[in-house]
Amino acid sequence: MTSRSVPRLASLALALVLGATLVLLAAAVVAAESPAPGGSGPASAGPAASGGNAISIVQKTFSPSTLTVHVGDTVTWTVTEAISDPHSVTAGSSKDPKPAEFDSGIKLKNNGDTFSHAFPAAGTFSFFCAVHPTTMSGTITVTGANGGTGAPAAKEGVPTSSKLIAGVVLVVALLLLFGWARIYRRMNPAL
Ligand SMILES: [Cu+2]
């Protein structure tokens, strides 16, 4: 072992740290671009939109007739067992219709016909079928909390927590980079 091998080891260590720093930077970029797991995606593409927020129109019934969703969710009604009559999904009740809130019109007739409505505010919203009001009515309950975190739903694609993590990783990576550059210069005064 000569004295020359010490700076060589330092160079090797620096190269490793630089490599690790690049990996951290890449991780920061990836974290900034991808939504956090479990975070709410765009309302139209959320997993709940296709699964939990669906109501089937089965002959002359809504199934289920009551549904609880979160603020910002979209509920989709789909004809799954068509009859000869068409249906509507109309806000309110037959005694107190509120078609201004939402109304599909009487045109849900064939299997696969759908109507969707987004609920941007909390509350209880009844709906009915204008053709079969005696057997077809229901209620959507919209709750304020989203995802159980207690925080308001993030409407942007990238949750704030992801941005924060990415920022912290970036700062740490830069500090590592400059710190090691300084140590390297001290070990190699010729530079
Ligand atoms: Cu109907």
pLDDT in tens, 99-141: 999 999 999 999 999 999 999 999 999 999 999 999 999 999 9
Pairwise CA distance, residues 180 & 20, whole Å: 12
Question: Looking at per-residue confidence, does 147 or 41 come out higher?
Answer: 147
What is the CA(20)–ligand 1 centre distance, in A?
A: 63
The pTM assigned to this predicted structure is: 0.52
Neighbours of 185 (CB within 10 A): 11
59 vs 51, 107, 108, 113, CA distance in Å? 20, 14, 11, 13
What is the CA(63)–ligand 1 centre distance, in A?
A: 12
What is the CA(75)–ligand 1 centre distance, in A?
A: 17
Residue 9 has pLDDT above 80, yes or no: no
pLDDT of residue 52: 72
Neighbours of 91 (CB within 10 A): 19
Contact criterion met (CB below 8 Å) for 6 and 165: no
Contact criterion met (CB below 8 Å) for 40 and 46: yes
